[in-house]
Amino acid sequence: MSVALNGVPVKEEIEKVMPPEDILAKKPVVMVECFQNIPCDPCAASCPFGAILPFEDINDLPAVDYDKCTGCGICVTSCPGLAIFVLDMNYSDEEALIKLPYEMLPLPQKGEMVSGLDREGHKVAEVKVDKVTKTKNKTYLISIVVPKELALIIRNIRVEDKTNG
């Protein structure tokens, strides 16, 4: 297993699943940070565009056809491992948009400032919630606006519970 013992992927593993820079420069696309060969394929089954390629074996790691990916985010909320994100590096000149899965309470609100966390759960920056989308399952799709230089670092958020403060 190439993921670090603490479950956080190492730099080399992240680089292997990075969307190509020319694609990132053109449009929003998924980044699949799935590193374990386990029986799982809802991401491929959920993609209406066939961008996540069908698995030859249920234990395969997901592969993405970035030309087919629209960045819609349907696969993000279908992943039980919360390992898929959408990156939109063209949100603005200085900011990127990340669509990420979220299953915690309290639920963030559009316009709210929240803590942007790295893969280890450390706070990296305050980021703005752009959109909160309820899906068919219990996973919300949260769109956050982040500085471009942090788009490949931030992978989760923490919402402060204002009712206990």
32, 17 contact by CB (below 8 A): yes
Mean pLDDT of the chain: 93
Q: How far apart are the first and last CA of the chain?
A: 42
pTM exceeds 0.75: yes
- The angle formed by the CA atoms of residues 95, 103 and 76, to the nearest 5 degrees, is 60
* DSSP reduced 3-state for 31: strand
pLDDT tens digits for range 132-161 = 999 988 899 999 999 999 999 999 999 987
Q: How would DSSP label each residue in 113-146?
A: EEEEE-TTS-EEEEEEEEEEE--SSS-EEEEEEE
